[in-house]
């Protein structure tokens, strides 16, 4: 079997890295993190007005810095009662340095007193695939519908998972990894872009760094 091609997971978010490693479990790709590729210090300002714009910006920046194909994710929560907020600011809803717990607390406070039927929300994800030797960016998208519960429940997942309630009454944070990956917005987005990974694998130049005995210069 040919040596796998390296694919950079363009995020420093440990939760996203875990999910993407599971979703991209393909022998044709050797998944590497920014730390593995020597670009852990790269900072990309997510100032786009959409998940698509931010994902594309991150993918291009990491691909150019690492000289590797890069897959970036931008995702977040859209709450109907808040006009789609927190949206692209989901990770920074309570401030640029806010923790997941602080973001959840601020959202629960914003929705305090709203009845169940007015707490509709969705997770939305866009993944972008960029190559350092080409201008085009490929995209995959996914959404999962639900609502914001009045309290937290569940120990799995990250971000807003403990307060995101699915149609069956379970919180996203109560799902196993396999259950979450089967239905999640990020899982849908990765499956949506699988055609691009499939069609481009054969076209990629040989990557000597994945050979036995190879090294990074």
Alpha carbon distance 51, 74 (integer Å): 5
Catalytic residue among 26, 49, 74, 161: 74
* Strand arrangement of the beta sheet that strand 120-130 belongs to: 29-32, 5-9, 70-79, 120-130, 137-148, 164-165
74 in active site? yes
Catalytic residue IDs: 74
């Amino acid at each position: 079997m040919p040596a796998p091609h390296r694919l950079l997971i363009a995020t420093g978010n440990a939760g996203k890295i875990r999910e993407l490693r599971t979703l991209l479990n393909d022998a044709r790709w050797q998944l590497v993190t920014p730390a593995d590729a020597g670009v852990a210090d790269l900072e990309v300002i997510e100032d786009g007005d959409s998940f698509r714009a931010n994902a594309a910006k991150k993918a291009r920046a990491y691909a150019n810095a690492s000289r590797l194909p890069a897959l970036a994710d931008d995702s977040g929560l859209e709450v109907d009662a808040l006009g789609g907020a927190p949206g692209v600011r989901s990770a920074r809803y309570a401030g640029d340095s806010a923790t997941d717990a602080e973001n959840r607390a601020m959202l629960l406070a914003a929705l305090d007193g709203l009845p169940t039927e007015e707490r509709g929300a969705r997770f939305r994800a866009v993944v972008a695939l960029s190559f350092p030797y080409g201008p085009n960016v490929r995209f995959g998208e996914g959404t999962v519908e639900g609502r914001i519960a009045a309290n937290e429940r569940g120990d799995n997942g990250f971000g807003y998972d403990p307060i995101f309630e699915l149609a069956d009454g379970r919180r996203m944070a109560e799902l196993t990894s396999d259950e979450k990956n089967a239905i999640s917005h990020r899982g849908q987005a990765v499956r949506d872009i699988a055609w691009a990974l499939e069609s481009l694998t054969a076209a990629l130049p040989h990557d000597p760094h994945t050979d036995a005995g190879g090294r990074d210069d």
